[in-house]
Amino acid sequence: MPLLLTPGQFTQRAGYYHQLAQFSSAGMGLIQSLEQLQRNPPSRSFREPIRRQLEKIQQGATFTESLAATSGWLPELDLALIEAGEQSGRMDACFQSLAEYYQERSRLTKKAMSQLVYPVGLIHFAALVFLIVLPFAASQFSASLPWLFLRAALALSPIYLGTLLGIYALQGQHNESWRARMESALRYVPLLGTARAYLALGRLAMALESLINAGVNIIPAWEIAARACGSPALRRAIVAWRPQVEQGVTPAAAMDTSPEFPEMFANFYRSGEISGKLDDSLRRLHHYYSEEGTRKLQNFSEWTPRLIYALVAIIIGLKVIQFYSGYFGQIADITRGF
């Protein structure tokens, strides 16, 4: 997996899953579907991983095992969801869900990047004016321009470095302990923390509904769904239940002891257990949390560039006031001298 994923790479991955969903819905076998994809991949870089997948499957591996063998090509979230799809026999729904997930990530990333163009341009314009033009003019045009440009670049370097580190830290290829730390840190970020939690609950409900409908036992179904949801906090909470559930405690009762599950999720799951319509309750939970999570993520992608713009505008305003205060102070000093 590349260090940083761009909107184009998200779109390519969405295309990979979308084609697999179409082939599966049309009744094509997995090998035939992958052969078609190898001939017409979303990107030329997909040909080699698909070839290795085909090779592993022809040797007797499952699709999940073949994907895991292409080390680092897919994040753990994808592998867990595909494993749930394999066990439930609903690969087409799993592929479609992943296609929609990556398409939405591509759309939100493009939107955020387009909205960041103006504040980023403003930052560089401010650096040009306050770190190069004004100091050069104040020195009576005798200052070294290369040194002024270097100073501006050094002043901007923490912003570049922080942005790159932030994007890298949020990539899905990191191990679980890293992702757990990021999840804990982002939990308190307005909109983003809630959005991530809701999307994880939506994936959990989707995977559970697929596995339970396929007749998978409740304990392994919850454990597979826990890996598929992408939340280390939810996975730890669910793993901690296992001794209780093995002793006869229902997951709904175990949920009451876990702060990771909202009251609405626990209540819907409990009503599904009691009524015998758990699949319907999980389906509703999947749609609600997926839609709400996506909406909050959209709001975050819209408000973040606005806040950055406002912060930059305030800094520029303060710099302008500081410049004119110094300028008028110099005039006052000259006037008093006369």
Mean pLDDT over each residue of the chain, to the nearest integer: 84
Q: Which residue has the tokens 């509904």?
A: 209
Average pLDDT over residues 217-231: 85
**The pLDDT of residue 214:** 72
Q: Which residue has the tokens 């990556």?
A: 102
Q: Nearest to residue 12, comparing CAs of 70, 99, 85, 77?
A: 99
Average pLDDT over residues 73-81: 79
Give the CATH architecture of domain 104-338.
Answer: Up-down Bundle (1.20)
% of the chain at pLDDT higher than 70: 93
Q: For the chain, how far is it from start to end, CA to CA, in angstroms?
A: 70
Looking at the predicted structure, is the pLDDT value of residue 87 above 70? yes
- The CB-side HSE value for 66 (13 A sphere, CA atoms) comes to 21
Indicate the SS3 state at residue 204.
helix
Does the pTM of the predicted model rise above 0.75? no
Q: Nearest to residue 229, comparing CAs of 71, 17, 78?
A: 78
Read off the pLDDT of residues 241-284 as tens digits, 9 standing for 90 and up: 888 888 888 888 888 888 889 999 999 999 998 888 888 999 89
Read off the pLDDT of residues 28-42 as tens digits, 9 standing for 90 and up: 888 999 999 999 888
Under a CB-based contact definition with an 8 Å cutoff, are residues 168 and 4 in contact? yes
What tokens does 146 get?
Answer: 């290369």
**The pLDDT of residue 3:** 45
The full set of domain ranges for the chain reads 7-74, 104-338
- Most confident of the following: 72-81, 174-183, 260-269, 302-311: 260-269
CA 14 to chain centre: 14
